[in-house]
Structure 1
Amino acid sequence: MVQERPVRVERRLSAILAADVAGYSRLMHDDEEATHTKLAALLTDAVVPAIAEHGGRIVKNTGDGFLAEFPSAVQAVRAATQFQTRIKELTIAEAEDRRIAFRVGINVGDVIVEPHDIFGDGVNIAARLESIAEPGGICISSSAHDHVRGKVGVEFADLGEQNLKNIALPVRAFAVVRDRSSAATQAERARLSPLSPPRLSIVVLPFANLSGDPEQEYFVDGVTESLTADLSRITASFVIGRHTAFTYKGKAVDLKQIGHELKVRYVLEGSVQRGGNRLRVNVQLIDTETGAHLWADRFDKPIADLFELQDEIVSKLANQLEVQLTEQEARRSERSRHPSSMDLYFQGRAWLNKAWTPEYLAQARGSFERALAVDPRNIDARVGSAAGDLIVGVSYMSNDSAALLAKAEATLTKVLSLAPNHAFAHMLLGATLISTNRPAQGIAECERALALDRNLAEAHAQIGRAKLVLGLGVETEGHVNMALRLSPRDVFSNHWLSFIGLAKLQIKKDVEALGWFRRSVEINPNDPPTYFVLAATLALLGSLDQASTAARAGLAINPGFTIRRFRDGAYGDNPTFLAYRNRLSEGMRLAGIPEG
């Protein structure tokens, strides 16, 4: 007997919108025909056009409401907001007890699809959220909120955990705030948290010209405009456009009020002062919620070419601000009871920025994995996960670095097929290619990254590393210096200094190499690879006691390191590169590092 194949069940991830008419039974009891006619007209004039305009489809009508499906939570919320606004306009003249008002619930979930219906918990949650919405209101789940926050131009009130009928676990709900009175009504039933602006949202206020010279105004405005443009390239950033920002030029401003008006978490303000042949730039980053000063810096530079100086100042600021903003977002997300996918992404980036120790890297990779579990479509979390695999692979923390590098390459190739202009992903792919003995291809990827983001200092440093693999260590320092010019206090600058040290070893300038490795350790004393090459260099120079001390310091952080792991993970087949690798291996042996 031939066994029949099971029927394939079609499933997909959708944004589900459930709506019904508040008080429908009463309205029908009072006047069936008028209610039916008005409902049909509102569906035709307001609901159907809004759903169609935003790429949705009405799955079915339910007598007093309907069920709709959208490919995007953003489009679902926009459609609901549009038809709710239109319905209010069409019914405003009617007596309140005769007015038709929809309640709307929206959820993102995996659904079973049939030709004329959809099923599953995702649908049930949307329907239950609709039941707790106010008449004329919209209530969404936390899964939908994660997708739409900062993208739909409306505010949300956090209603906290809701126990919904026939839903096993509590669902965190958010209400679209259309006016303060309706928000207050919702708050009577649930905790109303402060309306939160988008994560990593910032406005760069016009810098003040303290030079007393009106002719310097163009330079000061140029710094503001260029910095606004460059910050917009930061992953997941929400940057207020320069035209809006310049409406505050020359005005005394309340930074908390600006945060409220523009819906931003951070304000960057600064000043420029020219004195003789020097230029001083002061900047500070402020939290608009608390008014706290989160970070400040000052640049004091001699004036040569003003336009080159402007580019240099903007690049340094953009790189430092990316680190500061990432750290602030990670701290915020740690306080969240229900971190979103992007919250977890920022936590992972913050761990990567600390140091490349086994513990920190495990924390980072775990955060990225959790981010992808919450939202498998989170491109930036995929990139972060690939970064974690790459770093573990090149830092001699695994006996199977080849598998980790292959995994990183596969992830990044997939990311770039979905987001071909992701500069950071291009740079990481370049680093992966360099690490697997394809330096020319790696350089091309890094150059592509720089074409997309001129401030991506790491791309310059990776090109310098590629020169090592090509046996051209004499060229490494120039590329690393370019990275340091763009980001002199970069969180990864200790690695860049190590690249120069390795290049000096390659060209047999061991004493100079020693100085670079010591500077690297001073910047970040928690980076094990640098200790191992420092130990090797000291041993090659005959300082065996110091070499042994450096080796022990590295092994205390990464006890699994061995010379065999180093040789297996040392990429490149250029004769000059191989000779330098062999010298390092011999130095490590003399320093007492285990053979493995």
Structure 2
Amino acid sequence: MVEKSFQRRLAAILAADVVGYSRLMGVDEDGTLTVVRNLRAEVIETRIAEHQGRLFKSMGDGFLAEFPSVVNAVACAIALQKDMAARNAELPEDRAIQLRIGVNLGDVIAEDGDVFGEGVNVAARIEGLAPAGGIAVTSMVHDNVGSRLDLSFEDMGEQQLKNIAQPVRVYSLGAPSGTSVRPTAVERIKPSIAVLPFTNMSGDPGQQYISDGITEDIITELARFRGLSVVARHASFHFANKGKSHIEVARELGVAYVVEGSLRKLGERIRITAQLVDAITGNHVWADRYDRDAQDIFAVQDLVVAAIVTMLEGRMYAAEAAKARAKPTTSWSAYDCLLQGRNLCDHQRDAEAVPLLERAIAVDPHFALAHAWLAIALTISNVIVLDDDQMAKAESASKQALELDANDATSHWARALYYLWTGDHYRSRFHFDRALTLNPADMQIKGDYANWQRASGRPADALATIDAAIDLGPFVPDWFAAVRGLTLFDLARYADAVEALESVPVQRSSGFLYLAAARAIRRLNWCK
């Protein structure tokens, strides 16, 4: 018999759990589960990825993460507590979700993606010594961080920890000097905003994709500003042509401001009007009209974004809006092809989008977004039966997109999808993490990240992620129900899988095979 070998290494371990979880569950079980699930998907996983960490274990009320750098682990702990303070600032004290965090640097054993050993056990034990909303660290962490971070420590003395032979000196970690863990009002309250689909005034229904594409680009650019809370695209687009008032839309989306506008294209001239409305008072905060050549569409988008940011976030400079996006292309023709192709992808007609996206690249070979969407279209249209030639084109397009713009979320998403469907889950995870860091509010990236978790054998995590993505709604793409149904099938929750998969249009998903299997298994269970 061959003895199994283990990998030993030195690692920084972060352990955390929710304070008073049982009490919160007793007060509101469904609400607490939803809040904790969203917290993990929107804050915890994002912060860990930003600090080059890896979440390797999660429980109902806690999680464990590994970092190659102790400085990164401590910085992540501080960022998490600041995020939690910001989320709790407007909640009643008895409904606040607080974390205790422990950080240790020690020897660990790695096996099959899991990490265990005394280094992990110590982190989990000292976490219980931290105050609510606080951080406890071992002397190893204290000594190694030193002056590299501007921190204050309180010596808690040597502690005898359960199942740990030798006493461990523990320190309570204070906030960085001059920084309050409880954020200021500007940091705590983010203006919430929804951008409604711009009305196509061209008299040609075939031009609607231009209005939709410009609306989507404005949403994407606004989402880059962390001082704003921007409603996801699919939720905003649900209200197209519904005839609802600003106040009704804002109430359903839970936002304080609404952007609306119109677009008219006549030949090579384009007119865009945009206005920002305070949904609480109904007053117009700002409005403007732009008459430009079609080639100047990107300058108009920058002006709209800059105006909105300036009005809602006085602490931001208009110059930041100008820098938020490098011009994707100088060609209106290339951009027009991109919008048409992206519109087809949104309607799950990816194969039809390929020629349009290839045309955009032929016009402007340096158009990063066109390369990214070509990679997405090629990958998605070939996932049922992988065509080697087409997937090679997808690989090349996604690589080119990143070479042209390494700081674009869509480019990383395209690369992540390629690696996901070709089985390189490690590289796929890296690019998903980067895409979500660049655009944490992108619903579709979260949906595909759930696909990655499912393919990586983490169906419970996948369910939490897809549910968090659905919660970004309230209106989501049809394929989200397919991902959720397949994940429930993996979890052997066959009745729930049937319910989810029955809501998916059969012509849009191969999930009908799983639906048939789930129905059969459910029937067998009933007959036992």
Same fold (TM over 0.5): no
What TM-score comes out, normalization by structure 1 length?
0.30
Report which structure shows greater RCO (CA 8 Å, sep ≥6): 2
TM-score normalised by length of structure 2: 0.34
